[in-house]
Structure 1
Amino acid sequence: MSIVNAPRSRSTGRKLALLVAVCALAAAGGVFAAGPGLAPASFASEAASPERSTPGLAFPVVAPAQLAVLPADEAKQVNPAAPVSLKVTNGRIDRVALTSGSGAAVDGTLSADGSSWTANAPLKFNTRYSYTFSVVDAAGRKSNTTRTFSTVSAANEADAAIYPLDGMKVGVAQPLQITFSEPVLNRDAVEKAIKISSTSGQAGDFHWFSNTMVRYRPESFWTANSTITMDLQLFGVDLGNGQIGNFNKKVTVRIGDKKVAVADATAHTFTASVNDQQAGQWPATMGDTRFPSARGYLVFMEKYRVEHMDAATIGLKPGDPAYYGQLDVNYATRLTPSGEFIHQATESAMPFLGEANLSHGCIGLGPDGAKWVFENMTSGDVVQVVNTDGDFAAVEDGYGDWNIPWAQYAN
C-alpha cells in the first residue's frame, strides 16, 4: 500500500523557507533583518535631526537651547549705557559679534563656561547696531541668529557745561555749577550720579536754580588751600522726558587763600583781608539813593584791565540827570552779570571817595585800591556789601548762593 502525502499549502511552504533562511543567517553569525521592503533606514544622529519634543525611538530628549538677549530685537532709543548681553541655558555660546553700522566692533567678555557674553564698552548715541551670535545646544546643533537695535537719537542726547573748569584755582566763595543742555526732571538721579569730595572733608549740598542749572556749595566758605573733586558719572543717566546724559567727567578744582572784602556804604570804605588778616583799606564811593549798591555777598566773576560802560545798558537815556553816556574805566572786576563792578572811580568821582555815594551801583575806588583788587583778588573771592539801602541781587544774577540761608539752600 502506498502512502500518499497530503498536499501542503503555499503559505506553509513560504514559512518553512523563511525559517530555513533565518536559521542559515543565524548559523553564519548574521543579525536579524526583516524581509525586502520592510527594513527601516539607519537612525540619523541627534545632531542632524530636528529637536525632539517627545521621547525618540532610541535616544533621549535633548532640551532646546534657551536664549535671554538684551536689548530686544529691533529695539529703538536704547540707552547707550544699558547692558548688552546674551545668556544661554541648555547650550553654549560659540561666537558673538556686535558691530555698529560703520562696522566698528564692540568688545565683549565670554564666561568661562560659555553660557554668557557681555559687552565691555558703552555704546554710542544715534547708532544702529547688528548683534550676531551662534549657539550650540547639548546635542551639538548650531544655530545662527542676527538681531538689530538702535540707540538714543541725537535729539535726546543731553550735555552739560561745568564751572569752574578742570584745574582752575578759585576763591573760597566759588560755588560749583553745572548747566545742562536739556531740562532735568529726574533731579535725584542726577544728584546721585555726581560725587563731590574735598580734602578739607567739608560736606555740601545741591541747589537747583532752574530746571537746567544746579549749584553745589558747603554750609560755610570752602577751606582755604583745599582741593575739591567732582566726579560726574552722567553717561546714560535719564534726565527725564527721554533725555539721556552723554558724558562722564572728573573735575579737580583748587581753592586759594581766603580773600574776603567788606564794602561799607555808610563808612564809605573798602576793607580787604587775606586769610583773616587785613591787607588794606581804601576810601570808596558806592551806589547813590537812586541806584544803591546790592547788599549781601557778591562773588568775583571776571576782570578787565579796561572795561567799556554804556549808560543805556541800565535803561538811562540822554536827558536823564543820571545819564553818563559811554566811558571806559580801569581795573574793573565784575560782581554781577547785570553790571555791578569794583573799578577805579572816574575823574569826576575822585573827590567824593570816602565822602559820598554817587555811583550807579558799582564800588568805586582810587587807583591804588582798584589796582590792588584787580591784581590780588580773583574769581571766587568775595565782597560783603553792608549798610546799603539796596536789596540783595537776584540769586541768579551772579553767584548769589551765599545770600540764601543754608536750611533753605539745602532743600
Structure 2
Amino acid sequence: METESTSGLRPRRGGTVKKIALLAVVCILAAGGGVFAAVAPGFARGSMESEAGSAVRSAPGVASPVVAPVKLDVSPDDGAKQVNPAAPVSLKVTNGRIEGVTLTTTGGEAVQGTFAGDGSSWSAVGPLKFNTEYSYTYVVTDGAGREKSTTHSFSTVSSSHEADAAIYPLDGMKVGVGQPLQVIFSEPVVNRAEVEKAIKVTSSAGQTGAFHWFSDTMVRYRPEGFWAANTTVTMDMQLFGVDLGNGQIANFNKKVNVNIGDKRVAIADSAAHTFTLSVNDQVVKTLPVSMGDERFPSARGYAVLMEKNRYDHFRAASIGLKPGDPAYYGEVDVEYSIRLTLSGAYIHQALESAYPFIGNKNVSHGCIGFAPEGAAWVYNNMTTGDVVQVINTKGDYAAHDDGYGDWNIPWTEYDN
C-alpha cells in the first residue's frame, strides 16, 4: 500500500503535491508584498492582482519596480526653424534625472551648459549663433535607472533676418556738449519700445534724456539741455536677440563710453557778420565772417559740428547749381572745413574773392566764411559735437535730420 507523506498529505496521481507546494510559494510571496509576473502553470492570470496596482511590474524572468513615466520639457522643439539665438535652450525633467546633454553645431562646435544640482534641469550658457544648425542630444534615466538617449535638431534665425546697426559717437570718443547719441539700424524697427528698453543711457552728471525717432531706422538720444561739460555718458545696448519686428532680430550687444569736453557754443550773427565763441559760458573770441546771401541765406537755429577736414573739395553741382547760373562756382578747394549739415553748410576759410566782404556783407552759399587766420583758429579750437547757433538770418531751419538738428526740436516734441 502507498505510504503517507511527512506533510500529512497524501500523494495523488498527476503531481498534486507539487502543485500544492507551488501554491504555497506563491502565497508566501504574496504575503511578503510581491507578485510574480510570470504565472505558474495551471493558474489563471486573472486571479492575480493587476500590475498597475502592484509594487512590481512583470517581465519574463525579471521583477522591476513600477515608476511614474518621465516627463520632459525641451526647448526649442525638435525641427524648430528661425529660432532666436537669444532664446533659452533648456531641458527640464520630471520623474527622472538628466545624465548628460550635448548641444553642438553641425560643424561640431559645442555649446556649454549647466545642470541643476538634482539633475532635474539643464540650460545652455550664453547665446547661440545666427544662421546655424544645432544638434541637441540628451540622456535621461527614470526612477528605475533605465536610460534613454534622444537627439533632435533645430536651426536659428537666418542671415536674411539678422539686423545690425551703426553707432555714433564711437566708444572712447571725445565730443562737444551738443552731440546726440545715434543708432542707425540696418533694418526697419517696428518694436520701438522694445529697442528703447534695451538701451540704457547714463551720465556721470546724473542727466537723463529721451529717445527720438527720425525714421524707422534711426533713433537719437539727448538730454533736455546740453550735456554737462567734462562728463562721461555711457550707452549700454543689450540688443542681441531683440525682435525689431517683421522677424528681424538684432545681432549685437555693445557698450560705448562717450567723453564730453568743455562747453563750446558759438553764435553766428548774420546781421552783425560776427562769430562769437564762448567756452564754459565765457566769451573767448569774436571773429568777422561772411554768411549766406539773399538767395542762399544761412539756416537758422542750432547746428552741431559733424566733422573736420583740413582740406576739402566743394562742387557747385552738389547743391543743385549748373553752369550758366550766376551762383555757379564749379569746383573749388577749401581749407579748414567743418561740416554743419549733410546738405552742404560748412564753416571754412572763405575763397580769396570773398575776403573783401568778410565782416561787412554776406556773399556765401549758406556757409560761414572766415579769413584765413580766423578759419584756422576756429578749426583748432572747436571740435565735433560743439554747437553753433545762427541768428538774424532770413533762412529757415534746416531739416532736423540734415545733420544734428535735434536742438531745434522743442523738448515736449522730442520727448514723445
After TM superposition, the score normalised by the length of structure 1 is: 0.89
Out of 138, 141, 144, the position equivalent to 1:139 is 144
**Residues 1:298 and 1:58: Cα distance change in structure 2 (over 3 Å):** closer
The alignment partner of 1:195 has SS state of strand
The alignment partner of 2:356 has SS state of helix
Cα distance in structure 2, aligned partners of 1:263 and 1:17: 125
The alignment partner of 1:407 has SS state of helix
Deviations 1:337-388 (A, max 9, x none): 1111111111111111111111100001111211111111111001000000
Aligned equivalent of 2:364: 359
Cα distance in structure 2, aligned partners of 1:348 and 1:385: 24
Cα distance in structure 2, aligned partners of 1:359 and 1:182: 39
Verify: 1:61 aligned to 2:61, yes or no.
no
The alignment partner of 2:314 has SS state of strand
Aligned equivalent of 1:386: 391
Deviations 1:20-76 (A, max 9, x none): 6689x89xxx97589xxxx98599xxxxxxxx9833484563111110100011000
User: Could you tell me which amino acid in structure 1 is paired with residue 358 of structure 2?
Assistant: L
Note the C-alpha offset of 1:227: 0.0
After superposition, residues 198-277 of structure 1 pair within 5 angstroms as 198-277=203-282
Aligned equivalent of 1:9: none
**Residues 1:355 and 1:111: Cα distance change in structure 2 (over 3 Å):** same
| More off after superposition, 244-253 vs 306-315 | 306-315
Note the C-alpha offset of 1:311: 1.3
Report the count of equivalent residues.
Answer: 384
Cα distance in structure 2, aligned partners of 1:105 and 1:16: 72
Aligned equivalent of 1:297: 302
**Residues 1:271 and 1:14: Cα distance change in structure 2 (over 3 Å):** same
Aligned equivalent of 2:91: 86
The alignment partner of 1:348 has SS state of helix
**Residues 1:400 and 1:32: Cα distance change in structure 2 (over 3 Å):** closer
Q: Say whether the 8 Å CA contact 1:196–1:231 is kept in structure 2.
A: yes
Verify: 1:333 aligned to 2:330, yes or no.
no
Q: Say whether the 8 Å CA contact 2:267–2:388 is kept in structure 1.
A: yes
**Residues 1:53 and 1:283: Cα distance change in structure 2 (over 3 Å):** farther
The alignment partner of 1:189 has SS state of helix
After superposition, residues 33-182 of structure 1 pair within 5 angstroms as 41=38, 54-56=52-54, 58-59=56-57, 61-182=66-187
Cα distance in structure 1, aligned partners of 2:323 and 2:25: 123
Q: Say whether the 8 Å CA contact 1:22–1:32 is kept in structure 2.
A: no
Deviations 1:182-234 (A, max 9, x none): 00000000000000000010010000000000000000000000000010000
**Residues 1:110 and 1:269: Cα distance change in structure 2 (over 3 Å):** same
Q: Say whether the 8 Å CA contact 2:11–2:17 is kept in structure 1.
A: no
**Residues 1:294 and 1:101: Cα distance change in structure 2 (over 3 Å):** same
Cα distance in structure 2, aligned partners of 1:58 and 1:294: 90
Aligned equivalent of 1:47: none
**Residues 1:381 and 1:17: Cα distance change in structure 2 (over 3 Å):** closer
Cα distance in structure 2, aligned partners of 1:328 and 1:179: 31
Aligned equivalent of 1:15: 12
The alignment partner of 1:92 has SS state of strand
Note the C-alpha offset of 1:320: 1.4
Note the C-alpha offset of 1:138: 0.4
The alignment partner of 1:155 has SS state of helix
RMSD of aligned residue pairs (Cα, Å): 2.4
Verify: 1:370 aligned to 2:375, yes or no.
yes
Q: Say whether the 8 Å CA contact 1:136–1:143 is kept in structure 2.
A: yes
Cα distance in structure 1, aligned partners of 2:160 and 2:306: 33
The alignment partner of 2:141 has SS state of strand
User: Could you tell me which amino acid in structure 2 is paired with residue 248 of structure 1?
Assistant: N
Cα distance in structure 1, aligned partners of 2:51 and 2:185: 56
Q: Say whether the 8 Å CA contact 1:55–1:61 is kept in structure 2.
A: no
Verify: 1:410 aligned to 2:382, yes or no.
no
Aligned equivalent of 2:322: 317
After TM superposition, the score normalised by the length of structure 2 is: 0.88
**Residues 1:53 and 1:219: Cα distance change in structure 2 (over 3 Å):** farther
Cα distance in structure 2, aligned partners of 1:19 and 1:326: 123
Cα distance in structure 1, aligned partners of 2:144 and 2:26: 29
Verify: 1:342 aligned to 2:344, yes or no.
no
Cα distance in structure 1, aligned partners of 2:83 and 2:286: 61
**Residues 1:32 and 1:17: Cα distance change in structure 2 (over 3 Å):** farther
Q: Say whether the 8 Å CA contact 2:162–2:250 is kept in structure 1.
A: yes
Deviations 1:386-408 (A, max 9, x none): 00000000111100000000000
| More off after superposition, 222-231 vs 345-354 | 345-354
**Residues 1:33 and 1:299: Cα distance change in structure 2 (over 3 Å):** closer
Aligned equivalent of 2:194: 189
The alignment partner of 1:351 has SS state of helix
